[in-house]
Amino acid sequence: MATAATVPTAPVAEALPPAPGRAPRRAPRGLVVGAIAVAVPMALPLAYLAVVVAQDASLAWDTIWRDQTLRLLLRSSALAVAVTLSAVALALPLSWLVTRTDLPGRRVWTVLTTLPLVIPSYIGAYLMVSALGPHGLVQDLLAEPFGVERLPSIYGFFGAWLVLTLFTYPLVLLTVRATLARLDPQLEEAARGMGRSGWSTYRTVVLPQLMPAIGAGGLLVALYVLSDFGAVSILRFDSFTRVIYASYRASFDRIGAASLAALLVAAMFVVLWLEGRTRRRFAYYRTAPGAARRPQHVRLGPWRWPALAFCATVALLALVVPVSVLVYWSLQSVAGDPNWSEISSAAVDSVTAAGLAAAIAAVCAIPVAMLAARYPSRLAAVIERVTFTGYALPHIVVALTLVFFGTRVALPLYQTLAMLVFAFVVLLLPLAVGATRASLLQVSPRLEEAARSVGRGPLAVLRTITAPLAAGGVAAGAALVFLTAVKELPATLVLAPIGFETLSTEIWTATSVGFYERGAIPSLVLLVISAPPLYLLTTRHQP
Amino acid sequence: MPMQMPRKSALLFAATALCALALASCGGNDDSGSGTITVYSGRSEELIGPLVSRYEARSGNDVEVRYGDTAELASTILEEDDKSPADVFFSQDAGALGALEKEGLLAQLPADVVDDVDPRYRSRAGRWVATSARARVVAYNRDRVKRSELPRSILDFTDERWKGRIGWAPTNGSFQAFVTALRLLKGEDAARKWLEGIVANDPEVFDDNEPIRDALGKGELDVGFINHYYVAQARAKEGAEYPVEVYFPPGGDPGSLVNVAGIGILESSDQQEEAERFTRFMHSREAQEHFARDVKEYPVAAGVAADRRLVPLERIQQPRLDLSNLDDLRGTLKLIQESGAL
């Protein structure tokens, strides 16, 4: 990531205490076993890809080395880089404005700028096309007074970049804002005291401490973009995932699709490696005695007007425009007497599946995050990276993985709720691991060591010291998994029990036959359901 | 103390979750009850749901339907192999049925079911059968294109004067079935030349037929290669002022390919008889009228007539082709990719 280059190492390294975990501390065996037990099922997609590719290795080889393949991988990578950079560029000023300044209505802006997270990108893309397309609703509004006959096309790279940025930047915003809000102001005050300017302090003291958060959020964005299919297909951007889907759809070519998916996994490891470089080896917890104080709020003065305009523009594009279209359609559809009992039972099914997935993912994330944060080692890194596999793959590949293993190994569970929930965990575990790890990094291991030194056992320490302090991160991880699982579609279609209809399958049913108005109400219900976990995410660590 | 709270609630949450999961798994796939069949349907609930309800009422048996994308469901069945919970596969196109047939996953259908339909619209080996037919058409916006401007063959859209005026959906199943037909009818080289020629004309790329039709309706496009019923449905909704017309290139041109939606019964099903009964129902007068009236497709059985506003199926000069051969899509995809269309 380009921002990594701006991190000045020397002054910061001096300002911070020596790195944790350098001294080789052995991880407790129970923890290692727990983390491996979580990682093994997460590696199922890898096993599936290997099994399928091995059926015809030479065909797989041919597929990978087609000119087309590499060209599309490059296109998708370019999109992923562009979206990640712009998501970071949006998230950094937003997070600073809502945590560290006297911006009027900070709480409201906090919620409004996070809300776009709950809009599924396939709906978001469709709404943006309806609103901003060459002949969309906005053009309709402009046609009469200004005689605008068509707006510039939003299809292709530009549209995909815009839409994916608008609906994924909250992933960076969440991680960065949480870190920023908890950052001890002492270091900054010391820097200011030594005569550094505000910007220079931010650059040399604050930004380096934000790097892990930026890296973690950026990673989620980049991998999301690589695996997304819904938005790119609606915005007609020719991406790598489109070819994977096409292989299944056009030719039932599982071997071709699997070899391309394997290539995507390789790309994922490159991204993970890049992200690993943003995690510097210094401490992110405070070491001085006493509690962290709350940072003072910077007075914006006249700058608050451009700041407000900035927040308003982001909220307008990412939230107001799409939600207005939804509301407009919903009103039309209410006239057509929607089936409320169907919608409410779909809401119950959605919450059930996503809630179970969130709870299980939160529990599974703990050993993985604990190992990565406290006992960094090669094994810990491998385990953590393996858990990303499902997140980086198009959902149809993960769904077929579970079809393959489900019918061969766990037939009684096949197409049950348990299977669907398991699929969600495989797809979304990294969201929980990331949030949990970030909160663990901010708990000083010295507290734990102190507890150990007075004779507490490791489990007792976990229970009385670590768990309470990291609980916020675990809850945030669960909330993120919930928000993402509740809008999942491809795996739900294949793996849900028959008759188990979620809001996303309702939306799909409506839109696949062209009744976009009918999909609007379930979409709005989806947004409403997402509100409580989102509230949990945004109010945590509010200064 | 607040310190204890998160742990307790987390434990409680986890315990509840596990119980719920255990309960859910107990209620798993249980279709051992006699007469209950499971259908994987690539056709939408909107379309099939009412028919399924009527069948259930008529037969007194339950039908469980998994709705999804045709190709994804076919891929699912290919992965499930002989363990598939599905008894019946209801496909949006012949290609997916052909793929399952080729893997030996489809059972032989009884002669009377097969004989319901014209031999052109069923598998030669009698392992799948059409339920309705759909035609490929050249759709055009009549305000932007005159009927007389349209070429005699779809092959001639490679001409430079169509530059920037065409919409197509290279990832769409129906389109790819058409390209396969083109390869079978005119040879690999001609198909490649056609694809490259259209690519050279800077076509607008869509993901599906519907957005092509809508772009035509809004006047964003001049011509598009889609299926007939998309236009017929929009016309029924919007009335005579709707500016999109359909054109069938004459003389057995590949541009006038007639493809089908159809049904296959899985070899692994232990409900063969019930599945056959379901298939027969889809050939009944009421089912066929539903396809003709509500979907604007061409009925294929029970002597039901197509919508009056459609060009009659017999008048379409469709190319001579065995639809079973449309399953050779791998070569098609390769061609589409190599031509730069995808």
Give the predicted TM-score (pTM) of the model.
0.83
Quickly state the pLDDT bin for B29 (edges 50, 70, 90). Answer: very low
Contacts of residue A156, defined as CB under 8 A and 6 or more positions apart, other chains included, come to A235, A236, A237
Under 8 Å between Cβ of A375 and A26? yes
In chain A, positions 230-269, which contact chain B (CB-CB < 8 Å)?
Answer: 233-234, 236, 238, 242-243, 245-254, 256
ipTM for the predicted complex: 0.80
Each domain of chain A, given as residue ranges in start order, spans 25-55+336-543, 59-284+301-332
Quickly state the pLDDT bin for A8 (edges 50, 70, 90). Answer: very low
Quickly state the pLDDT bin for A17 (edges 50, 70, 90). Answer: very low
Q: Do A468 and B65 touch (CB under 8 A)?
A: no
Q: What is the pLDDT of residue B39?
A: 96
Whole-angstrom Cα distance, residue B194 to residue B186?
10
Angle at A446 between CA A442 and CA A451, to 5 degrees: 115
* CATH classification number, B134-257+329-338, choose in 3.40.190.10, 3.40.50.300, 3.30.530.20, 3.40.50.12780: 3.40.190.10
Among A5-14, A187-196, A531-540, B224-233, name the most confident range: B224-233
In chain B, positions 296-335, which contact chain A (CB-CB < 8 Å)?
Answer: 329-330, 332-333
Whole-angstrom Cα distance, residue B101 to residue B267?
10
Whole-angstrom Cα distance, residue A53 to residue A59?
8
Q: What is the pLDDT of residue A513?
A: 63
Question: Does residue A7 have a pLDDT over 60?
Answer: no
Q: Do B72 and A416 touch (CB under 8 A)?
A: no
Q: Do B79 and A246 touch (CB under 8 A)?
A: no
Q: Does domain A59-284+301-332 fall into CATH 1.10.3720.10?
A: yes
Which one has a higher pLDDT value, A199 or A222? A222
Quickly state the pLDDT bin for A417 (edges 50, 70, 90). Answer: very high
Q: If you count residue pairs, one on A and one on B, with CB atoms under 8 Å apart, how many are there? A: 165
Quickly state the pLDDT bin for A6 (edges 50, 70, 90). Answer: very low
Per-residue DSSP letter, B122: B
Q: Which of B16, B65, B66, B226 to mutate to test the interface with A (most CBs of A within 10 A)?
A: B66
Dump strand ranges (E) for B42-86.
Answer: 63-67
Please name the residue of chain A whose CA is at the shortest distance from the CA of residue B11: A363
Whole-angstrom Cα distance, residue B139 to residue A516?
22
Contacts of residue A264, defined as CB under 8 A and 6 or more positions apart, other chains included, come to A73, A226, A227, A240, A241, A244, A392, A393, A394
Q: What is the pLDDT of residue A22?
A: 46
* CATH classification number, B37-132+260-311, choose in 3.40.190.10, 3.30.70.260, 3.40.50.720, 3.40.50.1980: 3.40.190.10
Q: For all residues of chain B together, what is the average pLDDT?
A: 86
Question: Does residue A346 have a pLDDT over 70?
Answer: yes
Q: Which of A55, A498, A504, A536 to mutate to test the interface with B (most CBs of B within 10 A)?
A: A498
Quote the minimal CA–CA distance from B112 to chain A in Å: 30
Quickly state the pLDDT bin for A236 (edges 50, 70, 90). Answer: confident
Question: Does residue B257 have a pLDDT over 50?
Answer: yes
Burial of B35 (0-12, 13-18, 19+ CB in 10 A): middle
CB of B205 within 8 Å of a chain A CB? The answer is yes
Q: What is the pLDDT of residue A177?
A: 86
Question: Does residue B151 have a pLDDT over 90?
Answer: yes
In chain A, positions 174-233, which contact chain B (CB-CB < 8 Å)?
Answer: 233
Q: What is the pLDDT of residue A440?
A: 84
Q: Do domains A25-55+336-543 and A59-284+301-332 have the same CATH topology?
A: yes
Under 8 Å between Cβ of A247 and B91? no
* Gyration radius from chain A CA atoms: 24
Mean pLDDT of A106-121: 87
CB of B62 within 8 Å of a chain A CB? The answer is no
Q: Write out the DSSP string of B155-206.
A: GGGGSGGGTTTEEE-TT-HHHHHHHHHHHHHH-HHHHHHHHHHHHHT-PEE-
Q: Do B14 and A359 touch (CB under 8 A)?
A: yes
Question: Does residue A249 have a pLDDT over 80?
Answer: no
CB of B237 within 8 Å of a chain A CB? The answer is no
Among A293-307, A522-536, B89-103, B253-267, whose mean pLDDT is lowest? A293-307
Q: Which residue has the tokens 């991160």?
A: A473
Which one has a higher pLDDT value, B34 or A201? A201
Question: Does residue A12 have a pLDDT over 50?
Answer: no
Q: Quick one: residue A16, left, alpha or beta (phi over 0 = left, psi -120 to 50 = alpha)?
A: beta
Per-residue DSSP letter, B319: P
- CATH architecture under which domain A25-55+336-543 falls: Orthogonal Bundle (1.10)
The sign of the CA dihedral A542, B5, B7, B9 is negative
Question: Does residue A496 have a pLDDT over 70?
Answer: yes
CB-closest option in B27, B204, B342 to A243: B342
Q: What is the pLDDT of residue A117?
A: 87
Could you give the percent of chain A with pLDDT greater than 90? 29
Residue A89 corresponds to which tokens in the numbers above?
């560029």
Quickly state the pLDDT bin for A367 (edges 50, 70, 90). Answer: very high
The 10s digit of each residue's pLDDT in A28-59 is 888 899 999 999 999 999 999 999 989 888 88
Quote the minimal CA–CA distance from A413 to chain B in Å: 6
What are the phi and psi torsion angles at A380 (to 5°)?
-60, -40
Q: Write out the DSSP string of A153-169.
A: P--SHHHHHHHHHHHHH
| Amino acid at site A512 | S
Task: Number of helices (H) and strands (E) in chain A: give both, helices first.
Answer: 28, 0
Question: Does residue B112 have a pLDDT over 80?
Answer: yes
Neighbouring C-beta atoms of residue B119, cutoff 10 Å: 11
Quickly state the pLDDT bin for B267 (edges 50, 70, 90). Answer: very high
CB of A7 within 8 Å of a chain B CB? The answer is no
Could you give the percent of chain B with pLDDT greater than 90? 62
CB of A412 within 8 Å of a chain B CB? The answer is yes
Q: What is the pLDDT of residue A445?
A: 78
Mean pLDDT of B185-193: 94
Neighbouring C-beta atoms of residue B98, cutoff 10 Å: 29
The 10s digit of each residue's pLDDT in A428-459 is 999 999 888 878 877 777 887 888 888 887 77
Q: What is the pLDDT of residue A56?
A: 84
Q: What is the pLDDT of residue B217?
A: 92
Q: Do A254 and B25 touch (CB under 8 A)?
A: no
Neighbouring C-beta atoms of residue A153, cutoff 10 Å: 14
Question: Does residue B253 have a pLDDT over 90?
Answer: yes
Under 8 Å between Cβ of A357 and A427? no
